[in-house]
């Protein structure tokens, strides 16, 4: 008890002294908390303002700089296009029909991405495959698509590299994988330091712009939507990368100027930097997320709200898309429905809800309260708590019987807090209440989330929901 009283006396002295210093013009603003901390340490005078501590040099700044050797037979005769800088190399057991089918798919991809979307052509590879063309190597198996980079030229002034593709000859979706091959090769040439996850997301989005969806696309969105707690932007390749093309789709429609595919391409161009030093990892600074944060977030709150709006739109995908949130992804059907952590009836409230899966940075979580009884003049009270040091952005959406959003109620966003409350009045006309949360990651405003710092740490939360 004595310690508590003594501490309180120091606080009172600190506040009075802070007011006096402010009146004398020695303290700018009302930094009483800082002044108090200095007095408790025996320091007087203006508060000492320190810059954020520098990040450890041991932290990885990008993906690994790996340059695997090309498959055997790089110098063997290849089937090359007469129209575009494209070649297909094949194992001896691969038929001529499979070779020509792959070459035709590459040509169509080139016409669409370079000719129609005006994306830049891939960098020439200095005859590493027998000529400067983009090389696709067909193997006599069911190998999934791999797009690898060549070691960049030592005289290049920025992070850029030529690339080649490796694919199994029995691929049933050759048009799709040829477009992904070309798209990732283009991304290597624009910014080689960008993450493999982001390159695959960009190439997948381009494919959905110029091609026809396949069962592989349905499976990708099923993986993505069934695990909404996973990061939408990451470093290492994973099965969620292709589904995260939904984020680029959302940004292109919400922020673009009507030229499909242009905005995601621009983020890669703007994230390019001077050449990384020779090391085990690329220096991916700035990355595409930095570009988006700078362009669409005048403040950290603005960008948090943008991410939360995407998370809300993501709840209305596939068969739940009654309002046209993702018109180009209607093909996903029930596979596009996002997974809800909880679905509880209104009559069961009050409830304290916690997730079965913690939320990764830039992941989202969804709770549903169904109106199984007339809400009449009821009011919904919500109390949100989450684990530090990350910030969560929350939204509450009233959904009508037709599946459309009636109105969205924003919850106050706190950069440094871990608790917030919100009251929602007038529930009339709603068939349910959708609660959406987004983990913004990072270590507070000074160190926002960086996808290069894997592995990511997920964080849990709890939401208390009550009716009045």
421-449 pLDDT per residue, tens: 999 998 988 999 999 999 999 887 778 89
Which pLDDT belongs to residue 53? 56
Domain boundary among 192, 215, 232: 192
Query: Looking at residues 450-463, what average pLDDT do you find?
Result: 92
Same domain, 443 and 358: yes
For residue 351, the SS3 value is: strand
Buried b (16+ CB within 10 A) or exposed e, 379-411: ebbbbbbbbeebbbbbbbbbbeeeeebbeebeb
Residue 360 forms part of a structural domain: yes
- 16, 89: one domain: no
Type and span of the H or E element at 5 = helix 2-23
Domain match, 77 and 162 both: yes
Mean predicted confidence (pLDDT) in 19-24: 34
Residue 52 pLDDT > 60, yes or no?
A: no
357 and 426 together in one domain: yes
78 in any annotated domain? yes
Q: Let me know if residue 309 belongs to a domain.
A: no
* 392-399 and 432-439 beta bridge pairing: antiparallel
143: closest CA among 164, 172, 166, 165? 166
Instruction: Based on the fold, state whether residues 26 and 95 are members of the same structural domain.
Output: no
- Joined tokens for residue 407: 């109105």
Report the predicted TM-score, pTM, of the whole model to 2 decimal places. 0.85
Shared domain for 94 and 174, answered yes or no, is yes
Q: Are 136 and 28 in the same domain?
A: no
Q: Which among 386, 358, 61 has a CA at the least distance from the CA of 230?
A: 358
Q: Which residue(s) pair with 304 in the sheet? A: none
- Among the candidates 192, 208, 224, a domain finishes at 192
Residue-by-residue DSSP string for 86-126: EEEEE-TTS-HHHHHHHHHHHHHHHIIIIIIS-PPPPPP-T
Which CATH number covers residue 443?
Answer: 2.60.120.380
| 45 band by pLDDT with thresholds 50, 70 and 90 | low
pLDDT tens figures, 58-115: 666 788 888 999 987 645 578 999 999 999 999 888 888 999 999 999 999 999 999 9
Domain identity same for 83 and 155:
yes
The whole-angstrom separation of Cα 292 and Cα 233 is 12
Chain position carrying tokens 């067909």: 138
- Residue 247 lies inside a defined structural domain of this protein: no
36 and 71 assigned to the same domain: no
Asked, for residue 405, whether it belongs to a domain, the answer is yes
Task: Encode pLDDT of 264-312 as tens digits.
Answer: 999 999 988 778 887 788 888 889 999 999 888 878 889 999 999 999 9
Model confidence at 9: pLDDT above 60: no
Residues 120 and 179 in one domain: yes
Residues 108 and 173 placed together within one structural domain of the fold: yes
Domain end, chosen from 192, 220, 236, is at 192
Domain region containing 174: 66-192
The pLDDT of residue 27 is 35
Number of structural domains found in the chain: 3
Task: Tell me which residue of 144, 145, 147 sits closest to 134, measured CA to CA.
Answer: 147
Residue 237 inside a domain? The answer is no
CA distance 334 to 337: 5
pLDDT tens string 361-405: 999 999 999 998 776 678 899 999 999 999 999 999 999 999 999
Same domain, residue pair 99 and 179: yes
Residue 12 placed within a domain: yes
Q: What pLDDT digit, counting tens, does each position of 148-203 carry?
A: 999 887 666 778 899 999 999 888 899 999 999 999 999 999 999 999 999 999 99
Residue 414 lies in a domain: yes
């Amino acid at each position: 008890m004595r310690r508590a009283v003594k501490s309180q006396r120091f606080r009172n002295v600190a506040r009075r002294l802070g007011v006096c210093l402010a009146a004398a013009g020695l303290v700018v603003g009302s930094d009483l908390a800082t002044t108090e901390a200095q007095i408790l340490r025996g320091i007087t005078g203006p508060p000492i303002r320190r810059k954020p501590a520098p990040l450890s040099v041991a932290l990885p700044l990008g993906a690994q700089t790996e340059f695997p050797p090309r498959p055997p037979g790089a110098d063997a005769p290849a089937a090359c296009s007469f129209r575009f800088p494209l070649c297909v190399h094949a194992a001896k057991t691969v038929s001529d029909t499979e070779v020509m089918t792959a070459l035709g798919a590459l040509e169509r991809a080139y016409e669409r991405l370079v000719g129609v979307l005006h994306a830049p052509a891939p960098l020439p590879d200095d005859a590493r495959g027998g000529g400067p063309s983009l090389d696709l190597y067909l193997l006599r198996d069911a190998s999934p698509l791999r797009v690898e980079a060549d070691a960049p030229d030592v005289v290049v002034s920025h992070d850029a590299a030529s690339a080649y593709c490796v694919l199994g000859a029995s691929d049933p979706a050759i048009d799709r994988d040829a477009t992904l091959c070309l798209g990732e090769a283009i991304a290597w040439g624009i910014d080689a330091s960008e993450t493999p996850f982001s390159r695959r997301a960009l190439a997948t989005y381009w494919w959905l712009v110029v091609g026809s969806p396949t069962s592989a696309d349905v499976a990708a969105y099923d993986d993505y939507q069934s695990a909404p707690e996973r990061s939408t932007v990451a470093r290492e390749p994973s099965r969620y990368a292709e589904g995260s093309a939904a984020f680029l789709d959302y940004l292109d429609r919400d922020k673009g100027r009507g030229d499909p595919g242009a905005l995601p391409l621009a983020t890669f161009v703007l994230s390019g930097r001077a050449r990384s030093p020779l090391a085990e990892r690329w220096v991916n600074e700035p990355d595409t997320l930095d570009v988006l944060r700078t362009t669409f977030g005048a403040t950290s709150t603005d960008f948090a709200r943008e991410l939360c709006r995407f998370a809300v739109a993501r709840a209305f995908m596939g068969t739940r898309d009654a309002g046209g949130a993702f018109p180009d992804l209607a093909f996903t059907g029930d596979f596009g429905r996002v997974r809800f952590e909880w679905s509880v009836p209104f009559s069961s409230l009050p409830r304290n809800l916690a997730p079965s899966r913690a939320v990764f940075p830039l992941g989202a979580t969804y709770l549903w309260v169904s109106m199984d009884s007339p809400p009449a003049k009821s009011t919904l009270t919500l109390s949100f708590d989450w684990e530090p040091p990350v910030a969560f952005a929350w939204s509450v959406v009233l959904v009508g019987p037709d599946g459309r959003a009636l109105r969205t109620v924003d919850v106050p966003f706190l950069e440094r807090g871990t608790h917030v409350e919100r009251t929602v009045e007038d529930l009339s006309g709603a068939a349910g209440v959708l609660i959406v949360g987004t983990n913004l990651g990072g270590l507070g405003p000074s160190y926002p989330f960086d996808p290069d710092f894997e592995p990511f740490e997920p964080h849990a939360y709890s939401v208390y929901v009550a009716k009045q």
